């Protein structure tokens, strides 16, 4: 078991289930989307905070869904290499984790109601689709993560939809800068999933969980990680050279040293040591987002 679970309080168990280390990746797209709104002179603090509230709760709800649905499908066993899953470890009953999942999604809906009053029906579409995708990743009759489609779902919902949605609820429109700024977030957040699935290739294969990493193999998954990270760093010069945004977005390149370290780690390690790369990629996503957002703020006309 990856973490000590003796004598944990109820609060600590729920914190373990929520996986707070994943939350920076949920905040990063909101930071970028809000920075694009600032650059366009359309930043609205109320909708920005509501988008952040909703994104964090959707991430926690997705974490709880994965915890309980992977347990039911037999993907989480005592051989698990990643952080402790509370259902598999017997710290919480499946019904408790499911209840927690629905509470999180319900609280996220409250943010959605407020944002719908501001931005209209597109918020309902994005919100419902995000909740369905969070559940469908490991749950339902066609769990996306078990058929190699998890990477696509994460890129679309935790990258494109999160950044563009954050911008939309403030600007009430979409611009190309929002779309292009969403790409690096989608790439890096998907890279987090790639590390997770690379670490779990053997146990996922044994459980019949055919993630894209299982389908590609170790070398293919490492290649995917490399190209996702590289793609994130190719976006800022594109945004600048094609005059979509200011040259200041190149501040995101200040995070390249951290990215190089992580690529080397992913390329040379297997199994449990990849937990360091998993947390590191989440931190890289937030770091990149902050530098990129600062560039947009500095470069505001």
pLDDT for 16: 84
Greater confidence, 12 or 76?
12
pTM across the whole model: 0.92
Structural domain including 30 reads 14-298
| 2 part of a folded domain | no
Q: How much is the average pLDDT of 136-165?
A: 89
Q: How much is the average pLDDT of 4-28?
A: 83
| 1 part of a folded domain | no
Angle at which helix 94-119 crosses helix 10-18, to 10 degrees, equals: 60
| 7 part of a folded domain | no
With cut-offs at 50, 70 and 90, classify the pLDDT of residue 195: very high
pLDDT for 212: 94
| 208 part of a folded domain | yes
| 234 part of a folded domain | yes
| 23 part of a folded domain | yes
With cut-offs at 50, 70 and 90, classify the pLDDT of residue 2: very low
Do residues 213 and 252 lie in contact, with contact meaning Cβ atoms separated by under 8 Å? Answer: no
Q: Is the dihedral of CA 145, 260, 202, 96 positive or negative?
A: negative
Is it the case that residue 235 has pLDDT exceeding 80?
A: yes
- Of the listed ranges 8-22, 165-179, 241-255, 278-292, the least confidently predicted one is 8-22
| 9 part of a folded domain | no
Structure tokens that stand for 235 in this block: 């976006």
| DSSP notation for the chain | --S--TT--HHHHHHHHH-GGGHHHHHHHHHHHHHHHHHTT---HHHHHHHHHHHHHHHHHHHHHHHHHHHHTT---TT--SSPPTTTTTSS-HHHHHHHHHHHHHHHHHHHHHHHHHH-HHHHHHHHHHHHHHHHTTSSSS-GGGGT-HHHHHIIIIIIIHHHHHHHHHHSS--HHHHHHHHHHHHHHHHHHHHHHHHTHHHHHHTT---HHHHHHHHHHHHHHHHHHHHHHHHHHHHHHTTSS-GGGGGGGGGHHHHHHHHHHHHH--STTHHHHHHHHHHHHHHHHHHHHHHHHHT--
Q: Is the dihedral of CA 171, 45, 249, 301 positive or negative?
A: positive
- Arithmetic mean of pLDDT over the chain: 91
pLDDT for 1: 42
CA-based R_g, the chain, Å: 19
Do residues 192 and 23 lie in contact, with contact meaning Cβ atoms separated by under 8 Å? Answer: no
Is it the case that residue 47 has pLDDT exceeding 80?
A: yes
How many whole angstroms separate alpha carbon 32 and alpha carbon 289? 6
pLDDT in tens, 70-113: 787 765 555 555 567 788 878 889 999 999 999 999 999 999 99
- Of the listed ranges 68-77, 99-108, 279-288, 292-301, the least confidently predicted one is 68-77
Q: How much is the average pLDDT of 203-225?
A: 92
- Of the listed ranges 1-10, 61-70, 130-139, 156-165, the least confidently predicted one is 1-10
Number of domains in the chain: 1
């Amino acid at each position: 078991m990856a973490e000590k679970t003796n004598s944990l309080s109820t609060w600590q168990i729920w914190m373990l289930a929520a996986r707070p280390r994943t939350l920076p990746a949920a905040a990063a797209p909101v930071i970028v989307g809000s920075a694009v709104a600032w650059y366009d002179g359309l930043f609205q603090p109320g909708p920005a905070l509501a988008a952040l509230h909703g994104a964090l709760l959707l991430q926690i709800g997705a974490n709880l869904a994965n915890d309980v649905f992977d347990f039911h499908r037999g993907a989480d066993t005592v051989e698990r290499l990643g952080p402790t899953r509370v259902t598999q470890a017997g710290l919480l009953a499946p019904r408790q984790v499911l209840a927690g999942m629905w509470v999180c999604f319900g609280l996220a809906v409250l943010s959605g109601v407020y944002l719908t009053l501001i931005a209209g029906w597109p918020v309902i579409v994005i919100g419902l689709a995000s909740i369905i995708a969070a559940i469908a990743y490991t749950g339902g009759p066609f769990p996306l993560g078990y058929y190699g489609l998890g990477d696509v779902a994460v890129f679309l919902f935790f990258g494109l939809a999160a950044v563009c949605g954050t911008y939309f609820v403030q600007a009430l429109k979409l611009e190309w800068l929002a779309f292009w700024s969403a790409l690096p977030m989608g790439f890096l957040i998907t890279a987090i999933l790639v590390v997770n699935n690379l670490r779990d290739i053997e146990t996922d294969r044994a459980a019949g969980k055919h993630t894209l990493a299982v389908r590609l193999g170790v070398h293919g998954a490492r290649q995917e990680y490399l190209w996702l990270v590289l793609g994130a760093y190719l976006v800022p010069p594109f945004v600048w050279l094609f005059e979509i945004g200011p040259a200041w977005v190149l501040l995101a390149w200040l995070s390249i040293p951290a990215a190089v370290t992580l690529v080397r780690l992913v390329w040379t390690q297997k199994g449990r040591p990849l937990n360091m790369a998993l947390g590191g990629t989440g931190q890289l996503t937030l770091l990149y987002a902050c530098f990129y957002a600062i560039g947009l703020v500095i470069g505001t006309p």
